[in-house]
Amino acid sequence: MTKVHYLSNKELLKEIHNSKMTYSWIMEDKYSKFDIILENLSELTQEKIIEAKESRAARLQKEAHEAEVARWEKGLTGKKTKPRGADFAVDPQSIADEDIVVRIMTFDHIPEEPGRKTNPKTVADHHARCNFPPFQQYAMIDGNWTEVVRSHWEGSPSNGHFSTSHGKTNERLARMYIKLCERYSTRGNWRGYTYVDEMRGQALLQLSQIGLQFNEAKSNNPFAYYTAAINNSFTRVLNLEKRSQNIRDDLLEEEGLNPSFTRTFNAEWEAKQANEANQEG
């Protein structure tokens, strides 16, 4: 059986895409995967079309190779050597213009919502709130670039409506969130805290809220994006706990009682450092 690296960027990107598709209208399943991302359809020059074909060829080669490796591991190919990726190369020139799918990052189909932001600064501030950057996907049909996918949309383009609640984060991506939080909490600078469970809980809540906001047009490294979010959540819980501990220690000292071991240790350490500095002086 092929070993699956659940926390790789490749697997994360795949499940992010699959989750976003549950929030989208799709003309046909063959249009669900995109080959290039642009800001506007007018940017689709001949050079961009060639780039999209190369991207599609690489994806088709990888998919065919992985499928054949899976058959080889089950002993279905009758060969002793593992299939090579080069044997499944696809010529980009063999891909027709009608085969490529272009993703356009746009708010054109998102309803405007005046007043949502007091001082709107971006295009997004003028439209209804979305749980991830909205997009449309286009493919050439009968010689014209036609919309084949629309995010945040339930029903067909003609009689459907904007929606951000009919889809969901799929189960596999949710499990990746959990695994990321668990792995991060075992690092040496976090695992010793007694409230590490609360850190994991806050980080998981944060990922469930911002996980799909990852923008494939700007980066192909969701692992770094998620790790930064987890680190921020852990740090926020740590700062809140430290503030609460300082308040408790202040109250204990005012009542003439011994503060926490942490404050006692820090006070002794600071006194020792000051004493050594005076002696050196």
Q: Coil, strand, or helix at residue 198?
A: helix
Nearest to 103 by CA among 39, 193, 155, 170: 39
pTM given for the model: 0.84
The C-alpha atoms of residue 102 and residue 135 are separated, in whole angstroms, by 10
Angle (nearest 5°) at CA 61 between 58 and 66: 125
Q: Is 60 exceeded by the pLDDT of residue 232? A: yes
User: Rounded CA gap, 160 and 155, in Å?
Assistant: 4
For residues 179-206, average pLDDT = 92
Length of the chain: 281
- d(Cα 138, Cα 42) in Å, to the nearest integer? 12
Average pLDDT over residues 173-195: 92
Mean pLDDT of all residues in 137-146: 94
Q: What are phi and psi of 135, to 5 degrees?
A: -155, 165
- Regarding predicted confidence, which is higher, 221 or 255? 221
The DSSP string of 98-162 is: GG-EEEEE--TTSPB-TTSSSS--SSGGGB---SS--EEEEEEETTEEEEEEESSEES-TTT-EE
Average pLDDT, the chain: 90
Least confidently predicted of 24-28, 93-97, 241-245: 241-245
Count of C-beta atoms within a 10 Å radius of residue 80: 6
Percent of the chain topping pLDDT 90: 67
Predicted confidence (pLDDT) at residue 199 exceeds the cutoff of 90: yes
Structure tokens at 225: 């994006």
Band (pLDDT 50/70/90 cuts) for residue 5 is low
Residue 62: predicted pLDDT = 92
Query: How would residue 3 be classed by pLDDT, with cut points 50, 70 and 90?
Result: low
Confidence at residue 264, expressed as pLDDT on a 0 to 100 scale: 77
Residue 233's closest CA among 203, 207, 211? 203
In percent, the amount of the chain with pLDDT more than 70 equals 97
Residue 80, both tokens: 């002793």
Report, as an integer, the average pLDDT of 252-265: 75
Residue 131 confidence (pLDDT) above 70: yes
**According to the model, what pLDDT value does residue 4 have?**
56
The two most distant CA atoms of the chain are separated, in Å, by 87
Distance CA 11, CA 225 (A): 14
pLDDT at 2 over 60: no
Closest to 99 measured CA to CA, from 132, 61, 56, 65: 56
Q: Specify the pLDDT at position 251.
A: 84
Inter-residue contact 6 to 176 (CB < 8 Å):
yes
